[in-house]
Structure formats: C-alpha cells, structure tokens
Amino acid sequence: MSRRSSFRCSKFRHVFGKPATKGRSYDGVPITRGVHDNHYCSVNPRFMAVVTESTGGGSFLVLPIHHTGRVDPQHPRVCGHSGQVLDIKWKPFDDYCIASCSEDCTVKIWDIPVCGVQQDLTRARKTLIGHSRRVGLIEWHPTAENLLLSSAYDYKVLLWDVSQESALIRFPVRVVLMPVHRRYPSETLLLSVSFNSNGSRLAVTSKDKRVRVLDPRTGKVLQVSSPKSHRASKVLYLGGMKLLLSTGSSPWHHRHIVLWDPDDLSEPLYEEELDGAGGVLFPFYDPDTHMLYLAGKGDGNIRCYELSAEKPYLSFLMEYRSLLPHKGLGVMPKRGLDMNICEVFRFYRLIAVKDLVEPLSMIVPRKQSGVFQEDLYPMTAGNQAAMTAQEWLSGINRGPVLMSLEPGTGVTNPYPETPAERGLAKQLSSLRFQTGPAVGAATQTNLDFMNEVAHRTGQTVV
C-alpha cells in the first residue's frame, strides 16, 4: 500500500488509536470459539453484547456499557437458543431490543430490562421460524421500523416484519446461479449483506465470490460483478459517497479491496492489494467523516483511510497495531462516543486469547479539548425510524432521521416511546386520580414495572 496520501492536507491526518486500560475493558468474558465469519459483538450506548462459549445450546452476554473490569463467571446470560449463536444485532431504534440467530434455524427477538440481565433470560419476545437450516446473518433495516433481514444455509433470504403477531415472512429472496458445468440453475450461500443509506438497495456477496446489488422488496438482481480479478467476501455500502466497497482476495490470494459504482458492476473503479494474510477483511465506514477502517479477522492491526468521491478515492491515514489478535469487533454508534476527547470512532475488540473485550477509541487530537467540534460531529443518523415497515413495503424511500450531537441542542426525547409505552403512560396518568385500591388498580409489582417503563419514556409515576 502506497503511503503517498499520508501527506495530504486533512483534518484527520493525525488520528490515532487509543486502547482502554484493563480496568476500563471487560475481562473474563468467555468469547465464543466459533469459526463463523461474523463479528460476534454488538454495541449501543446502553449495552454491549458478546456471543459466548457455552455447552448444550447457544448464549450471549449482555453487559451495561459502563460495567467494565472483571466480569463474574456466573453472570446471567441470554440463553434461549438450542444451538450455537452465530450473529447478534441491536435494533437501531431501540437500545433495549436485540436480535439473534443460531444454528437451531431460528431468529429470536429479545427485550433487555432497563437494569440489564439480572438472571438467565430464556424466553424471547418473539421467535421467527421460517428457515430450514442454520441462520448465519441478520441485519436490521437502516430507516424502517421493525424490519429484519435474515440469511441462512437453506439459501433463503427473508425479510421479517417483527411487529406482526405472527411474524409473517415478507418477500423471500433467492440468489440464483447459472453454472457453466451444470444443466440447471442452483442457489448460493450469502457471505455478507449491506443496505444502502435509505434501505432501497441491498448489496450481497455470496459463495461464488461475486458482488450483487438487489432490490430488497422484490428480490430482483440489478447488478452482478465478475469474479475474474476479485473474489469478494464482504461488501459495504459507503453512505453519501454513491460507492460500494468489497473486500476479498485477488487471483494471487492476496487480500484485496475494490471500489465499485453500485449502478454498474461491470468494471471496478479502484482496486488494490493489501497483504498476503489469510484472515477475512472486515470493512467499517463512518459516513459523517468519510473514514474507512479495515480490520482482518485474526489480525492485531486496523488500517484507517479517508475516502473521496474522486480519484484516487482512498487516502491512507494511519495504522493501529497491537500484538493481541482480535476475533471480532463491535462498533459504538455515533451518539455513544465521547465528544470531550474528540473521539470519532470506537471499536470493541474481542481478544479471545485473553478472554478480553478491549474498547479502542479513534481520536482526532485538538488543542481545545472539552469543546464541541462541529466539523468532527455533523448531523448524524439518530435512533428514530424514518417510516414504518408498511410504508417501506409500499414503496416509500426515506433517508435516516438526523440528530445533532451537540450537548444542549434540545433534541426531543432521543429514546422515543413505543405505542405500548404511550398506552401505559395514559394508564399512569389515570392512576393519579385514584384515591384507593380499586378493581384493576396497580399493585406494587405493577408499579415497579411502570416505574421502569416510565424511566425509558421520560414520564414520572406518582
């Protein structure tokens, strides 16, 4: 990789990685020994979830984000799957809801208590049954409420509306191949998926090492790449850039990155070989700063680049190096970063050899620390859905609802109420006018629950 771009004039040219101390890391976490090419970790401003090693089923650990230090070996887990958990994802519009998929062929939706998991959680809010083989990937829709995509080893990609009572399957998608040496078409297994910024397009990579762009509402394949010079394994839409990035290997088995025009996958816009390592290369992108991070599974280093819409597209910034390899990585959403130290990105590195989850902050040094830096923190995607699942299914496309990260901007209720919570708030208001315990009046147990929900909705119980 050429380092010519490291001398460009850029406000990010001095960015550096700062790992957390052991006291501010999560020590003693029994990280899964699974070999699936997933991150095994998902993070939001409230909780961190990590897939753990277990016997007799699958489980994952949910810890409050500030619960650092040594983790109790007997800490309660989410353990309702009968097979190994392969992927977990927090819902982008609810910090207390997480989805998981497993080798038991199911996808489960879990509600995490406000105070965290205090005892083993075995009963999911909803179990989605529609796959006949293990489910390897799940992904929430970026702008529509309650839409979840799942991909399994039965070659099916399913869209679920998890708000429906029966969790109806919506628009099944199958990626069909036309092999040269076979008489009939066959289906292929997906290795990664990525929605564009408004969720109107879906990019996928598959076992045949091609990149495809699909219409997720109909399942129609719009573009297909050629695997001649690039064997793709992971793909990522670069929001705001009208570009698509894929990582994989070259014909010489070197790790390879390629930039595509998503409307034309016939020829790549840019391609470059990185190294001869064998681990899968995971891409991460920050659309607010146009910074790209590349981290290989089993590596200890993370490369950082700045992207532009014109040639040469990629400009190398820095490389963080560690002697401890990571098995997977979680990423904190932008609204959970520490703006007082000019933190622009935060990884959670799963270091299986040490049973350690290590936060890693990417920091842009500034002289005026503690002052809000507008150029580093523009308006960003918030945690409010832009539309309902029914609106998206009817053909409506909307970009993410943006929010300001500046303290004191008066953003109204960053944790919006659900319809159930609004109904409960009305019940809480009616309780104020009750003078005694009548039929249907709240018991102490119910009031404890109402206090918990009221804490989330910003209400007060009296």
Alpha-carbon span 296 to 181, nearest angstrom: 34
Alpha-carbon span 163 to 109, nearest angstrom: 11
pLDDT at 277 (0 to 100)? 86
pLDDT at 369 (0 to 100)? 63
Rg (CA), the chain: 23
pLDDT at 226 (0 to 100)? 81
Cα–Cα distances (Å) from 65 to 6, 325, 405, 411, in that order, read 34, 22, 19, 22
Domains of the chain: 4-380 (2.130.10.10), 417-462 (no CATH)
Q: Considering only 42-46, 152-156, 320-324, which range has the smallest mean pLDDT?
A: 152-156
CA angle 423, 424, 428 (to 5 degrees): 120
pLDDT band of residue 275 (cuts 50, 70, 90) is confident
pLDDT at 330 (0 to 100)? 97
Paired strand residues for 41 = 50
Most confident of the ranges 340-349, 370-379, 402-411? 340-349
Q: Output the DSSP codes for 228-248.
A: SS-EEEEEEEETTTTEEEEEE
In percent, the amount of the chain with pLDDT more than 70 equals: 81
pLDDT band of residue 170 (cuts 50, 70, 90) is low
pLDDT at 437 (0 to 100)? 32
pLDDT band of residue 443 (cuts 50, 70, 90) is very low
Mean pLDDT score, 366-379? 83
Mean pLDDT score, 230-255? 91
Is pLDDT above 80 for 416?
no
Inter-residue contact 282 to 297 (CB < 8 Å): yes
